[in-house]
Amino acid sequence: MKLSFAEENYIKTIYQLTDAGKKGVSTNDISASMKLKPASVSDMLRKLGDKGVIDYRKYYGVHITEEGKKYALSTIRKQRLWEVFLVEKLRFSWDEVVDVADELEHIQSTVLIRRLDEYLGFPKFDPHGDPIPDEYGDVRVRPRVSLNEIDLNATGQIVAVKDSSAAFLRYLDKVGAYIGARIKVIEKVEFDGSIEILIDNKKTIFMSKDVAGNILIMV
Amino acid sequence: MKLSFAEENYIKTIYQLTDAGKKGVSTNDISASMKLKPASVSDMLRKLGDKGVIDYRKYYGVHITEEGKKYALSTIRKQRLWEVFLVEKLRFSWDEVVDVADELEHIQSTVLIRRLDEYLGFPKFDPHGDPIPDEYGDVRVRPRVSLNEIDLNATGQIVAVKDSSAAFLRYLDKVGAYIGARIKVIEKVEFDGSIEILIDNKKTIFMSKDVAGNILIMV
DNA sequence: ATTAGGTTTTAGCTATGGCTAAATATTTAT
DNA sequence: ATAAATATTTAGCCATAGCTAAAACCTAAT
Ligand SMILES: [Mn+2]
Ligand SMILES: [Mn+2]
Ligand SMILES: [Mn+2]
Ligand SMILES: [Mn+2]
C-alpha cells in the first residue's frame, strides 16, 4: 500500500506526537501541529483508520499501529537524510532545511534514498541531533534529557534540540550553542527556572527556562 | 503566480511539443505524450489559458506564451539539474533518472536550485545531452542534426539523444554509443535507411533508421 | 455541398483533501 | 447530578485533477 503526500504528513505527525504508550494523540493536537482545522483532521483519521495505519476510536484520540510506524519511520528517515544533504552538501544552515526537507521526504524511490544514504556516509543523526532510522525502521536511541533537568554544576553535551523552528535555531546560533557543544550548568535560578551555562569551558550564556527546555543533553 | 504539480507537467510538455512557430500543439499530442485522456487535457488547457501561460483557441491547438515559457524553462532547468545530480553524485545510470527527476523537478525552492547548480559545478548539459537553461531561462543552443541526416563518410560527435526511454538508452549502452563519442558514417543502406558507423575509430556498429533518428550529432 | 472520420470539447461522475457551521460527545466545574 | 465548557465529529461546501460517454466541431473525401 502507498500513502499519499497528505497521509504521509499525518502519519509522521501522529508518530511524533505519540508519547510513550498512554493516551492516544488527540485531534486537536494534530490540528495544532499541522495547522489544519480539527474537522479536516477528523476526516483524515477515519481514512487512516480504514487503511490500518492507526487505531481510531471516535472521540478518544488515535494510536499508531505497527504498520503505521513503518510508514512514519520511512518518511522520517527520508526527511532527515535530506536535511543532512542540505546542510552538508548544499551549505544550508540548520534553520533553513525544514520546509524543503518536508517536500523532499515524499519523493518515492527506494534506490534514491539508499544511494543518498551511502553518498552522505551513512549518517546516524540529522542536523538537529535527531537519529536517522535505518532502512528497516530501527532507530539507535541515545538517552537524553532536557537541559532543564540537569543539576547545578553537572556537565554534559548538547545532542539535539526539541524545537526546530528557524527562530529558535537562529537564537542558538547567536548565543553560540550548537550540537556537540560541551556544557556545564553554573547557575540555576529557582524563581523563573532560568539557568546559566558554560559552553566549551569558554563562554557563559544565560537562558530562559523555555529555551533550556528545548535543548537536549547527553550526560 | 504559482503552478501546481500537474500544471507544471502540462506546461513543460507543451513547451517540448512546440515545434518552431507553425501550428499549435494539439490536444491529442499532449494526451499521448502525458498518457492522459484527451478530455482531461481539454479541461486543463482551458485552465492554463485562463492563467495566461498558453493561448488557447478551442479546436485549434495551443501556443505557449512568453509567461508560459518562463515556467516551462524553470521546470526543465530543475529536471535537468536533478538528472545531473542523480548521475554524477548518486551513480544513477542515464536510463534510471527520468522518473525520479520528474518528481524532484517540482520541489519549490529557488535557493535549493541555485545551490544545487553551484554544487554540481554549473553544468551546461544534462546526462542526455540536453542543455540546462540558466536562472533566467536562457538556453545555450548548439546546432545538432539527427544521425540520419549525416552524409556517408562524414564525421561528428554524439551530443544528445531524442528519446530518453530506458529501453533506448540501455540499447545504446549495450552497443557502446554514448554522449561525447566521435563517430563516422561508414555505410548507408538506401533500402531501409539503416546505417553503419565507426565509434571512436575503434568499433563499428550497425543501427536501424529508427535508432539513428534518435541520436543527435554535432558536426 | 455533403458526409464520414477523426479530433476536441462538454457533461457528469469520482477521489482527494481542504474549509465553515452545526451537531454531538466528553470532560470539568458547580 | 447537572450544567457549562471544551473537544470532536458530521454535514455540506469548494477546488483540483482525473475518468467515460456523448455531443460538437473540423477536415478531407466524395
Ligand atoms: Mn512533508
Ligand atoms: Mn531534523
Ligand atoms: Mn514532473
Ligand atoms: Mn534529460
- Would you state the cell numbers that stand for residue B15, as one nine-digit string? 513547451
- CA B33 – C1' C27 distance (Å)? 58
Res B19: pLDDT: 82
**Mean pLDDT, range B128-140, rounded to an integer:** 96
Distance from CA of A91 to the nearest CA of B (A): 8
Res B168: pLDDT: 95
Which positions ≥6 away from B130 have C-beta within 8 Å? B80, B160
The fold for domain B144-218 equals: SH3 type barrels. (2.30.30)
User: Would you call B6 an interface residue with chain A, using a CB distance cutoff of 8 Å?
Assistant: no
The model's pLDDT over B151-167, given as tens digits with 9 standing for 90+, comes to: 999 999 999 999 999 99
Residues of B in contact with A109 (CB under 8 A): 99-100, 103
Name the protein residue, with chain letter, whose CA is nearest the C1' of C18: A40
C-alpha pair distances (Å), A150 with each of A64, A78, A171, A197, A210: 32, 32, 21, 11, 14
Res A20: pLDDT: 73
Of B90, B112, B119, the CB nearest to A100: B112
Query: If DSSP codes are grouped into helix, strand and coil, which group holds residue A125?
Result: strand
Task: Supply the mean pLDDT for chain A.
Answer: 95
Neighbours of B177 (CB within 10 A): 21
Rounded distance between C-alpha atoms, residue B101 and residue B86, angstroms = 8
For residues A41 and B142, the model is more confident at A41
Residues of A in contact with B90 (CB under 8 A): 112, 115-116, 119
Best of A78, A88, A96, A109 to disrupt the B interface (most B CBs within 10 Å) is A109
Res B7: pLDDT: 98
H or E element at residue A171: helix A166-175
Res A21: pLDDT: 65
User: Would you call B2 an interface residue with chain A, using a CB distance cutoff of 8 Å?
Assistant: no
The model's pLDDT over A79-132, given as tens digits with 9 standing for 90+, comes to: 999 999 999 999 999 999 999 999 999 999 999 999 999 999 999 999 999 999
Rounded distance between C-alpha atoms, residue A134 and residue A17, angstroms = 21
Rounded distance between C-alpha atoms, residue A57 and residue A62, angstroms = 7
Res A19: pLDDT: 82
| Cα B205 to middle of ligand 2, angstroms | 52
Strand nucleotide closest to residue A6 (CA to C1'): C17
| Nearest-ligand number for the alpha carbon of A3 | 1
For chain B, what are the domain ranges?
Answer: 5-64, 144-218
Res B63: pLDDT: 97
The model's pLDDT over B11-63, given as tens digits with 9 standing for 90+, comes to: 999 999 998 767 899 999 999 999 999 999 999 999 999 999 999 999 999 99
Res B4: pLDDT: 97
Q: Which of residues 60-99 of A touch strand D (CB under 7 A)?
A: 61
**Cα A46 off chain centre by:** 25
- CA B30 – C1' D19 distance (Å)? 16
CATH of domain B5-64: 1.10.10.10
Which positions ≥6 away from A186 have C-beta within 8 Å? A152, A153, A196, A197, A198, A204
Of A100, A109, A119, the CB nearest to B89: A119
Res B20: pLDDT: 73
**Mean pLDDT, range B131-137, rounded to an integer:** 96
Q: Are B87 and A112 in contact (CB under 8 A)?
A: no
Res B16: pLDDT: 96
Q: Are A26 and A37 in contact (CB under 8 A)?
A: no
**Mean pLDDT, range A137-155, rounded to an integer:** 93
